[in-house]
Amino acid sequence: MKLIYIYDAICGWCYGFTPVIQQLQTQSGTELEFEILSGGMMLSANRRPASAMYTYIQDAHKRVETTTGITFGTAFLDEYLQTDDIMDSEKPAVALTVFKQYQPEQAINFAHDMQLALNYYGKSLNDDTTYTALLEKYHIPAAEFLKKMQEDENKYATQQEFSVVQQWGITGFPAVILDNGEQLYLIARGFTPLERMLETIKEIKGKA
């Protein structure tokens, strides 16, 4: 049985929800296989300069913090959101595609590292040095990793990932799908507490 976590690196609610998925992965052990897909929330016409999102996020981040318990950093709220850095989902999505070629079992943790880099430390996910720093603890050679991010096949694989998510009808993030080998079940749409997901997974297992 496989759990598919659909997230976007730029998505604030995903930032608050990834720790729940990390808990679930830890608790599940070998019972569940985990996969993470990038949804592509901010691409092409949907991309925005950080400064254009300032007013919205200054209000919205409070709801995310209250609901999820996550913390947004002052470096993000007071500094990054004053810049014209483009909030673009593509590059962190390609980074995740490449990372999964090295350590797929750590992909959800790496995704959260990218989220922390942006939402807590105010780092740009367009900047290669952001990834160089994140890769250190995984002992992945940064120059090789960044070169792979430029390769057409990895960019294409990322676009295919976006397409799969669209074909499933997932337009909001985060979302979680459970695949029991016969059917796909949407078990979370938006932030969902761990206990509720565990109950849903138990019910689906009971049907098998």
For residue range 124-144, what is the model confidence (pLDDT) as tens digits?
A: 999 999 999 999 999 999 999
Please report the pLDDT score of residue 138 as a whole number: 98
Tell me: pLDDT of 11 over 70: yes
**Cis (ω within 30 of 0) for the bond into 92?**
no
Report phi then psi at 25, rounded to 5: -65, -40
Count CA within 13 A, CB hemisphere, residue 200.
Answer: 19
Nearest Cα residue to 98 out of 154, 43, 152: 154
Q: What is the mean pLDDT of residues 118-126?
A: 98
For residue range 28-82, what is the model confidence (pLDDT) as tens digits?
A: 988 899 999 999 998 988 899 999 999 999 999 999 999 999 999 999 999 999 9
Please report the pLDDT score of residue 30 as a whole number: 85
Please report the pLDDT score of residue 29 as a whole number: 84
Name the token pair of 40. 């592509």
Tell me: pLDDT of 207 over 80: no
What does each C-alpha distance from 193 to 89, 110, 196 come to in angstroms? 25, 21, 6
d(CA 133, CA 119): 16
What does each C-alpha distance from 145 to 122, 124, 162 come to in angstroms? 22, 17, 21
Name the token pair of 9. 């690196």
Tell me: pLDDT of 148 over 70: yes
Please report the pLDDT score of residue 77 as a whole number: 97
pTM above 0.75, yes or no: yes
Q: How confident is the model at residue 208 (pLDDT cuts 50, 70, 90)?
A: low
For residue range 167-201, what is the model confidence (pLDDT) as tens digits?
A: 999 989 999 999 998 999 999 999 999 999 999 99
